[in-house]
Structure 1
Amino acid sequence: MDGDSVHPGVAPLSFLLGRWRGEGEGGFPTINSFKYGEELTFSHSAHKQPVIVYSQKTWKLGSGEPMHSESGYWRPKPNGSIEVVIAQSTGLVEVQKGTFDAENKVVKLQSELVGNALKVREITRVFNVVDAEMSYVVEMATNLVNLQPHLKAFLKKL
């Protein structure tokens, strides 16, 4: 997507726009560690509001069997803050707020609300883009475990 077709409110986050694909690994004290393939898509229509449409899907590396998916909307604000809503395939819903640093290409998100979750209390996400590679870390807290790393991945822009 060229810079001319991006809504001015989304322009600072235009480094996210497009499809990203790669691999990640996950773990948590209450589950076995695992590796996965992943694709993220960030899209935008300049004719609409300053909103980025987000979607994610993961699969088992060996078999290609689907694992997890989620989608939502990212709404950047002129002051460098961002509001995000994400619905996961498990039924869990996240309302997150955070900040973005357009110059360093970093987005940090913190859950304001985790809904429809029996065990999950809190989720944080940090996305970082360097050249054409994105890395991210997701941390999670449950009723039994305090906030700690859950997922990390490295993706290349397609």
Structure 2
Amino acid sequence: MERSGEAGSVPPPVSVLPLHPAIAPLQFLLGRWSGEGEGGFPTIKSFRYGEELFFSHSGKPVIAYTQKTWKLETGEPMHAESGYWRLKSDGSIEVVIAQSTGLVEIQKGSLDAEHRTIELKSELVGNASKVKEIRRVFKATDRELSYTVQMATTVTNLEPHLQAILRKI
């Protein structure tokens, strides 16, 4: 039995692992993205925030995802979430996200690989007393990733909630 630190016991860094062919169409997401966004909702005051997203892979047919936001003025942490993205054999995309608030999402949607656009709609929002639906749209270029988030609650219909522009770092 190998012990930590012995040759062969530590997996190689993610960057040297071969990309699984099943996630090749999502390769444009891989890496670290950072920037600023703004949010609002009919039931809350508008706000601005800093954000970082990180998409990575381990050689498996899935992309790991982490996100964190902070107040621009103070650097104080605001929100965090993590999860997994995968392409299904029918070409659709499935995303599982756990938020720091305890809310969990299963989202399904589509990928337009030519335009690097991903559209997601919640199939399940769990552990949420008020949130009923979440939709996300991501658009990427070589150096920029933008997104919008819409949300519906028990007291609102689907409304814009978040939007951000991030740059690859």
Q: TM tier, shorter chain?
A: over 0.9
* 1:78, distance to aligned residue in structure 2 (A): 3.7
In terms of fraction of residues, the more strand-rich structure is: 1
| Bigger-Rg structure (1/2) | 2
Work out which of the residue numbers 31, 53, 75 in structure 1 matches 2:64: 53
In structure 1, the partner of 2:18 is: 5
Take 1:2 and 1:82, find their aligned partners in 2: how far apart are those partners? 23
2:128 — aligned with what? 117
Q: Could you tell me which residue of structure 1 aligns to residue 95 of structure 2? A: 84
- Paired-residue identity, %: 69
Show structure 2 runs of 5+ residues with no match.
Answer: 1-13
Give the alignment of 1:1-158 within 5 angstroms: 5-46=18-59, 48=60, 50-158=61-169
TM-score relative to the length of structure 2: 0.89
SS in 2 for 1:58: strand
TM-score in terms of structure 1 length: 0.95
3-state SS, counterpart of residue 22 of structure 2 = coil
CA contact (8 A) 1:59 1:66 kept: yes
Number of aligned positions between the proteins:
156
1:78 and 1:4, CA in 2 relative to 1: closer, same or farther beyond 3 A?
farther
Report the CA distance between 1:131 and its aligned residue.
2.6
Q: Distance in 1 between matches of 2:141 and 2:160?
A: 21
Counterpart for residue 10 of structure 2: none
Unaligned runs of 5+ in 1: none
